[in-house]
Structure 1
Amino acid sequence: MTTNANDGNATVAPALSEAPATIDSKQVLAWGLWDWGSAAFNAVVTTFVFTVYLTSEAFGQEAAVSAQLGWALAGAGLLIALLAPVTGQRSDSAGRRKFWLAINTYIVVAITAGMFFVQPDPSFLWLGLLLVAAGNVFFEFAGVNYNAMLAQVSTPKTIGRVSGVGWGLGYLGGIVLLLIVYFGLIQPDVGIFGITGEGAMDVRVTVLVSAIWFGLFALPVLLSVPEYEGVGARRAKVGFIASYPRLFSDIRKLWNESRQTVYFLLASAVFRDGLAGVFTFGGVLAAGWFGFSPGEVIIFAIGANVVAGISTITVGLLDDKLGAKPVIVGSLIGLVVAGLAVFFLHDGGAIMFWIFGLALCLFVGPAQSASRSFLARLIPAGREGEVFGLYATTGRAVSFLAPTAFALFITIGGEQYWGILGIILVIFIGLLLLLPVQAKQERLR
């Protein structure tokens, strides 16, 4: 689920010290509904339906096609790394954050709808890979602006729970959408409107439904949350190329003022990419190695989203009381243990994947949500928006790590399940980078 980019003297969102004294529940709900709608891309496209379809035997040998998917997403990650740092910065400098959230969101909607044309034939594989990769790029650009709005809809004392509500709504939205497409299109021999599995029409119509879903639920935040007005909107505009020197200057300034914040940005960039890899390749592994049918993958997805949604919202409440770093560390350790269990017990069949796959989902959401709230409390006063931009920038700058590691370990091991080790390695490295990061506990409460 998210991301951000920005510049040194600008404020990507009102500083927490300048946030409203109380939250506007309508704005929080409108903001969270974007996450609810984004399940159409996260759950259906990149995790449990379309990527599973792309890595099926209809497009070639499973391990080879899975590796190609990994390389395509790695390429998308590199493109994000080159462009995300300045796309968010420039939207903030222009005071048009919501405008660019809308543009990028509806590009993703159009790309998702375009997946309808990917027919079950090897000749359509590269079209499918291109659309998934492009969708990831623009989805992350949209997330740059969406994440920055967190400080606009929360207060210093509620940012943990508001962040958790957003992530939680994303998972819960995934449940509802997956139930709709499973019982309406994929599970029955003849679904709504007489749609069948012939020519993979059930999957292809599913992505059309997902496009409509995202498009509708993205509207509330665009209609209810005011356009960003802050320091960044008053900065002098510079050309696209000149945005890069400005970005480096901003990072250097942050390094001098709050080095621990920079350390956290680097650590979180790594482990967040591993978290994204868990969901991106979870459905692929369920279908490819553990023998789940398309319908069983969706049933697993529903269970995964229930577990992730409940744990994320619950831990969001603990986040405000106990601090975010213990939540992140505990979640990452849980992910490493559960991931290793999936790898070493890969011959145990579907039951092992159900047990330890759901264990993975138990920890992913809390780690994502607490990471966002941890940073919000660590940032020097008055620099919250700016650093949320860098949070997105650093995260997407390494977004090629998990896909590359997944593809590389499959290549090394020769079997699809070896990709699990690549994802776990990325998470473990992120954990090691996080442990030395210091933060005053009073800032975390």
Structure 2
Amino acid sequence: MSSQRGDAGSQVGDRPVSSHHDEVRARRRRMLGWAMWDPGTQPYASVITTFVFSVYIVSDSFGPRDLTSTALSWTMALAGLMIALLAPVVGQWAGRAGRRIGVLRWLTWALAVFAGCLFLVEARASYLTLGLILLGVGTIISDVASSIYNGLLDEVAEPSKVGRISGLGWGMGYVGGIIALLVIYIGWIKPTIGWFGVTSTNGMNIRVSMLFCAVWILLLTLPTFLILRDPPRVEPVAGSPRSLRDAYVELGHSVSRLWRSHRSIVLFLIASALFRDGLNGVFQFGGVIAKQTFGFTSAGVLVFGIAANLVAGVATIAFGLLDDKIGPRRVIVWSLVALIVAAVAVFILHDGGQIVFWVLGMAMCAFVGPAQSASRSYLARVCPPGMEGEVFGLYATTGKAVSFLAPLLFGAFIAIGHAARGGDSNQYWGILGIAVVLVAGLVAMIPVADAVRPDVEHSGKE
């Protein structure tokens, strides 16, 4: 009945009961410390890249709408390309060197600095380039850090609790996003004169919100770095990568080994890399479409963001129960189908007013979280015993492999719409680019088998 995991927290055999209880408390403390990083850094995703700053940087103050929207998409595509190059190996290199927590700490502090620097971006066209550079670099830092963070899951959670602890972090992230958005809405976006006498002149209310995000990131991630520690320095194992170049080589070897022994897992990693990028695109550019195509105010976008996080969180919990009944693969497939249909409907019904976006946008949010959660659940079910670290490490990094695709196609379809229709209100064409990525992920899921653990499958058990 006891776990056979090779860490100190699982080998309790002949130890005194009190020692076992100490180990349980220590593991729970580590799980809480790990889970706190998600809500601690959530404002960068929810506030900055989705519902507040990204909407601010494409506003009329910075130039023509098609121009600013396309510039934002190209910036995020370039950032995604850098993430694809860096994330798969930085985490692996840091892990082999025994420096994951240290690297994560420095990246988190850098993320807070870049969030705070967004305060410098005034509401003028001449500040567009500065805003996009800061946003792009911050996004690279955020995603590389999250890759390291996801790779720590296997260290803090027992194999039987990976899904549960993953869900805890995800749920706390949604809660953190909702609270941060509410504070910013009440304090600076909605009132004519906000806290500390801040007004909307020259975008000051948005810019002060960026300082709030920086402080939030620093304070709420403190428990993570007070609790989690890197192991004592040891000599690297022979053959361990000493540089990023060696890490790229080792990554290729890992994928090759897995392809030979568990090919279906590699097929799933490819499919999930595609549809997870599409899922990120739904949130990343939802606020832009809401403001520029459907005429939402900045306050309206923020209210939509709060509702979106709430719906996504509740739906994720509800679909988690369905996951156990019909299996994660079916949850993923049906979620992708629903998202594709809703995305096409947004394009077709774009002139139907804000009620259209409220209905279809909430529908899309209801399926984003379940698809993300079921993706991790699927991998936890099919992961061969003893390979959890390698497989979840690959999952954390391959999720960034095509992170440039959705932003690239979002901008490309806006450019197509601009060429086809002219004018300066073609942002809704970008949703078709995101739909294309989701379709690619859905097609890639077709050859992926249902989730059955290899040890169960070969034992003949149901």
User: Match of 2:253, as an amino acid?
Assistant: S
Kept in 2, the 8 Å contact 1:16–1:381? The answer is no
Aligned residue in 1 for 2:111:
108
Percent of counterpart pairs with the same letter? 48
2:183 corresponds in structure 1 to 180
TM-superposed deviation, 1:195: 0.4
Match of 1:304 among 267, 289, 308: 308
Q: In the alignment, what sits opposite 1:294?
A: 298
- Equivalent of residue 285 in structure 1, options 274, 289, 295: 289
Q: Aligned partner of 2:383: which letter?
A: I
What amino acid is aligned across from residue 74 of structure 1 in structure 2?
Answer: A
Alignment match, 1:416: 427
Are 1:39 and 1:174, in contact at CA under 8 Å, matched by a contact in 2? yes
Per-residue CA shift, 1:155-204, capped at 9, x if unaligned? 33332232222212111111111110111111101100000001110000
Q: Which amino acid aligns with 1:274?
A: G
Equivalent residues in 2 for 1:168-247 (5 A)? 168-227=171-230, 234=237, 236-247=240-251
Find the aligned partners of 2:280 and 2:231 in 1 and give their Cα distance. Answer: 28
Matches of 2:267 and 2:409, distance apart in 1: 23
Question: 3-state DSSP class of the match of 2:243?
Answer: coil
1:425 to 436, 441, 446: 436
Q: Secondary structure at the match of 1:397?
A: coil
Work out whether residues 55 and 291 of structure 2, in 8 Å CA contact, stay in contact via their aligned partners in 1. yes
Q: List runs of 5+ in structure 2 lacking aligned partners.
A: 11-23, 419-425, 457-461
| Residue number among 350, 363, 388 corresponding to 2:367 in the alignment | 363
Question: Larger deviation: 172-181 or 333-342?
Answer: 333-342
Query: CA 1:60 to 1:234, structure 2 compared with 1: closer, same or farther past 3 Å?
Result: same
Name the structure 1 match of 2:329. Answer: 325
Task: Supply the distance in 2 between the matched residues of 1:56 and 1:297 (Cα, whole angstroms).
Answer: 12
What is the CA–CA distance in structure 2 between the aligned matches of 1:365 and 1:384, rounded to whole Å? Answer: 23
Shift of 1:440: 4.5
Q: Which piece of structure 1 moves more, 44-53 or 29-38? A: 29-38
- Structure whose alpha-carbon radius of gyration is higher: 2
In structure 1, the partner of 2:81 is 78
- Judge which range, 24-33 or 421-430, deviates more: 24-33
CA distance in 2, matches of 1:233, 1:303: 48
Once the two structures are TM-superposed, the CA of residue 318 in structure 1 deviates from its matched residue by 4.4
SS state of the match for residue 441, structure 1? coil
TM-score by length of 1: 0.91
Tell which deviates more after alignment, 431-440 or 15-24. 15-24
Q: C-alpha distance in 1, partners of 2:80/2:287? A: 20
Shift of 1:265: 0.8
Look up the match of 1:373.
Answer: 377
Deviates more, 1:19-28 or 1:422-431: 19-28
Aligned-pair distance for 1:339? 1.4
Inter-partner Cα distance in structure 2 for 1:229 and 1:270: 37
Question: CA separation in 1, counterparts of 2:257 and 2:101?
Answer: 27
The 8 Å contact of residues 41 and 112 in structure 1, kept in 2 or not, is answered as: yes
The CA distance in 2 between the partners of 1:264 and 1:176, in whole Å, is 34
Equivalent residues in 2 for 1:12-411, closer than 5 Å = 17-18=5-6, 24-227=27-230, 234=237, 236-319=240-323, 322-411=326-415
Cα distance, 1:325–1:16 mapped onto 2, change above 3 Å:
farther
- 8 Å CA contact 2:93, 2:243 repeated in 1: no
What's the offset of the Cα at 1:223?
2.1
CA distance 1:46–1:228, change in 2 (3 Å): farther
Q: CA–CA distance in 2 between the matches of 1:108 and 1:391? A: 23
TM superposition shift of 1:344: 1.3
Q: CA deviation at 1:226?
A: 4.5
Shift of 1:237: 4.0
Distance in 2, matches of 1:344 and 1:293, equals 22
Question: Any idea what the Cα deviations from partners look like across 1:323-381, whole Å, max 9, x if unmatched?
Answer: 32222222212211221221111111100100110111111111112212322332332
Alpha carbons of 1:286 and 1:16: their partners in 2 closer, same or farther (altered >3 Å)? farther
Tell me, yes or no, if the aligned pair for 2:66 and 2:414 is still in contact at 8 Å: yes
Deviation for aligned residue 1:230: 12
2:448 equivalent to 1:437 = yes
What letter is aligned with 1:96? R
User: What SS is found at the alignment partner of 2:244?
Assistant: coil
Alpha-carbon distance in structure 1 between the residues aligned to 2:294 and 2:451 = 44
- Letter of the aligned partner of 1:437 in structure 2? V
AA paired with 2:303? I
Q: Which moved more, 1:165-174 or 1:433-442?
A: 433-442
Task: Provide the rounded CA distance (Å) in 1 between the counterparts of 2:217 and 2:188.
Answer: 18
Name the aligned partner's letter for residue 399 of structure 1: S
Compared CA separation, residues 256 and 181, structure 1 to 2 (3 A): same
Larger RCO: 1 or 2 (CA < 8 Å, sep 6+): 1
Identify the range of structure 1 (237-246 vs 117-126) with the bigger mean alpha-carbon deviation.
237-246
